[in-house]
Amino acid sequence: MDIIENFETVEVTTDLLILGGGMAACGAAFEAAHWAKLNNLKVTIVDKAVLDRSGAVAMGLSAINLYIGLKDGKNTLKDFVKYVKNDLMGIVRDDLVANIARHVDSSVHLFEKWGLPIWKDENGNYINEGQWQIMINGESYKPIVAEAAKNALKELGKNGSYYERVFITEPILEDDRCVGAAGFSLRENKFYIFRAKTVLAAMGGAAHIFRPRSTGEGLGRTWYPPFNSGASAYFTIKAGAEMTCQEVRFVPVRFKDAYGPVGAWFLLFNSIATNAYGENYMQTRSSELKKWGPYGLTNPTPANLRNYLMMLEVMEGKSPIYMRTEEAIKKIISRAGDEKAAKKKLKELESETWEDFLDMTISQALLWASTNIMPEEKPSEIVACEPYFISSHSGASGAWISGPEDLSPPEYQWGYPHMTTIKGLFAAGDASGASSHKFSSGSFTEGRIAAKAAISFCADYPDMPNINPEKIRELKKEVFKPLETFQIHKNYSNDPDINPNFIKPKMFMFRLQKIMDEYAGGVSSFFRTSKPLLEKGFEFLNFLREDSQKLAAENLHELMRCWENIHRLWQAESHIRTILFREETRWPGYYFRTDFPKIKEEWKCFVNCRWDPETGEWKMMKKEIIDLV
C-alpha cells in the first residue's frame, strides 16, 4: 500500500492564513481579528509548535529592545532610523524601519496592559537599559502575548482558529498568486491543505545552517532558537518572491558556551570587554574604525565592527576575551556611599545579574553556578557565535516587501504594505528583509501592520481561489517521500542511521553545517571567505541538493527534521549566491571577503535575488538605496 494512503487529507478554507507562532504571528492574529470581525472574514494561524512557547521569545527576555518613547519626547523617529542605518552600514529601508518605529510604543503599552512586568523608577517611568531598550521581567513574555492572540481569535467565534503542531512545507500558487500552504500534523496521520485569499509568512529566521560552537554534548545549544530552520525564507523563495539582504547574516557576541545575553552588562551596568591582558580593544584598536567610515566613526559603533575588533584580538592570540563584570560591579558599588549602602547595592546587583539570565537564558545561570563564577569577583568569557539569519535583530535577510503609501518612494511601494512581490503573500518579523532592529516588540508591531493590510487585500479580492486537485496529490506525495524512502530501504542494514540508500536528517544537517562553516565564512575560518571558497562550497551544496532526494524519516518527528533541513538548504544557497554577488566587505565581524577586503561606495545598494518557479533559475540584482533621512 502506498504510504500516503495512511494519511488523511484535511482541507481548511480561510480568508487570512497566518503561518508561524512567534511574536510577528501573534501580532498579526491580534490585529487581524479586529479587522476581520468588521468584514466577516476568517483568520487562521498555523504553527509547528505551541503558541505559548513558540518563536525566538519562547524562553523569555529580560528587556524589550525597541521602545521609542514618543509620548515622553525621549527620542524621534529620525534618530532611530539614523541609528539603524548606521548599525547596518547604510543598508536599510528607511520607510520600513520608520513605519514600525512609529507604531511600536502602542504595542509595548498593550504588553503592559496584558500583564507584562516592566521596570519603572520612583516616578513611574520605564527604566531604560539603553537609548531604545527598557527592562522587563520577561520569563512569561511569550505566554502573555500568545494568550492575547488566542483571545482575539476566540472573539471571532467560528471565524477564528489556530492549528498547533502542524508543520508547513510548501507554498501553493495559482496564476502567480499565493493561495495557501501545504503541511502535515506532527501528532496525527494528517496532511493539511490550507486554502486562503491571502497568506502571511512569519515563520522566523534560521539557525543551524552554520556549524555551531556547541557540538557533541552541547549540540542544540545556540543563541537563536534551534527550531528556527529557515521556513520563512524557503516559503517566500519557493513562491517566487524577490528576496533582499540574503548576505546580511548576524553574528552575535554572547557569553561563551551558554550564549547568555550581554546587553544588560554593556548598557545597564556599563561594563567593558577586554582581551586576556586587560586591554580595552575598543580603545587600543580605535584607529581600525577609520577604515570603515563613515559608519565606524559614529557613536554607537556598529555591532559588526565591535565584533571585528574583538576578532582581531583573537586572531593575534590575545584571547580569551572577557566581560569585566567584576569591574563594573565595583564601580557601581563605589558610588553607593557608606558600607551599609554598598552592601545593599551589591545585593541588588546580584539579584539583577542572575535574573537577567533566569528571564531568558537559564543555561547561562547554570553554567555560572557549575563553574563557580561569581560576577562580582571574576570576569566571564564572551565570544562571537556562529552566524544566524534573523532580520528582526542586527541581520537583514528576508523578503523584499512593499512599504507604506505615506512614507515609501514609488520604487519601494507597489501594493499593499508588507506584501511581497508575489500577489497575496505578505511577510513580517524575520520573514521580511531590510528592516532591522525590530526585536520582539517591533516584530509584533510589524505583524499587526502586515495583517491589517492583508485583511484589506481579502476585502478587495472576495473570491476564494481554487487549488488544482492534481497539485494537491503531487504535494502530498512529495511531503511524505522521506517516510516512503525509509520504509523501502530500512531492512538493508541493521542500523537505521547507516544505510547507503538514504540519509537521515541529522547527518544531512551536519554536512550542510560543515560546508557553510568551512566555505562560507563560519567560526572555524574566523568568518572569512572568498570567491574560490564560495564557489567550492556551492559545488558541495549542489551535491547536497542531490542527496536531499534521499532523505529518510522513521516517524513524523524525523519527517519534520527532513523538511527543516530542506528549508535550511535553500536559505544557505541564497546566502552563498548573494555573498558571491556582492564584491566587497561591508560587514566585517559578520563576514569578511578576503578577495575584496574593503567597503566600496558602488556597493552601497541592496542586493536582491529571485528564484523563478517556472524555470528554476536564479536572478541576482542591485536595488537603489533611497535615503529618507
Alpha helices in 523-629 (DSSP H): 531-548, 556-581
15, 95, 247, 356: the catalytic one is 356
440 is catalytic: yes
Q: Which residues contact 221 (CB under 8 A, 6 or more apart)?
A: 212, 214, 257, 258, 259, 363
CB distance 148 to 160 below 8 Å: no
Residue type, 213: R
Crossing angle between the packed helical segments 531-548 and 556-581, to the nearest 10 degrees: 150
54, 275, 440, 530: the catalytic one is 440
47, 105, 129, 573: the catalytic one is 129
393, 418, 561, 568: the catalytic one is 393
393 is catalytic: yes
213, 249, 254, 437: the catalytic one is 254
Task: Look up cell 535577510; give the residue.
Answer: 397
Q: Which long-range contacts (CB under 8 A, 24 or more apart) does 295-298 make?
A: 295/86, 295/89, 295/90, 298/86
DSSP-derived 3-state class of residue 130? coil
State the Cα–Cα distance between residues 498 and 501, nearest whole angstrom. 9
Crossing angle between the packed helical segments 481-489 and 469-479, to the nearest 10 degrees: 50
The phi-psi region of residue 437 (left if phi > 0; otherwise alpha if psi is between -120 and 50; otherwise beta) is left
Which residue from 381, 425, 373 is spatially nearest to 399, judged by alpha carbons? Answer: 425
Give all strands (DSSP E) within 5-138, no chain letters.
8-19, 43-46, 61-64, 134-138
54, 62, 65, 397: the catalytic one is 65
Task: Look up cell 525564507; give the residue.
Answer: 233
35 is catalytic: no
φ, ψ for residue 481 (rounded to 5)? -55, -40
Residue 145, C-alpha cell as written in the block:
502575548
Q: Which residues contact 586 (CB under 8 A, 6 or more apart)?
A: 89, 90, 91, 599, 603
Beta bridge partner(s), residue 9: 191
CB distance 459 to 39 below 8 Å: yes
223, 368, 587, 611: the catalytic one is 223
For the beta carbon of residue 287, count every other beta carbon within 10 angstroms: 7
CB distance 234 to 389 below 8 Å: no
State the Cα–Cα distance between residues 120 and 532, nearest whole angstrom. 54
Q: SS3 string of 491-506?
A: HHCCCCCCCCCCECHH
For the beta carbon of residue 244, count every other beta carbon within 10 angstroms: 27
Beta bridge partner(s), residue 425: 199
Cis peptide leading into residue 294 (ω within 30°): yes
Residue 172 is given by DSSP the state E
How deeply is 317 buried, as exposed, middle or buried, from its count of CB atoms within 10 A (0-12, 13-18, 19+)? Answer: exposed
86 is catalytic: no
254 is catalytic: yes
Which residue from 227, 224, 491, 258 is spatially nearest to 380, judged by alpha carbons? Answer: 258
φ, ψ for residue 387 (rounded to 5)? -70, 150
- CB half-sphere exposure, 616, CA atoms < 13 A: 0
Which positions are catalytic? Answer: 65, 129, 223, 254, 356, 393, 440
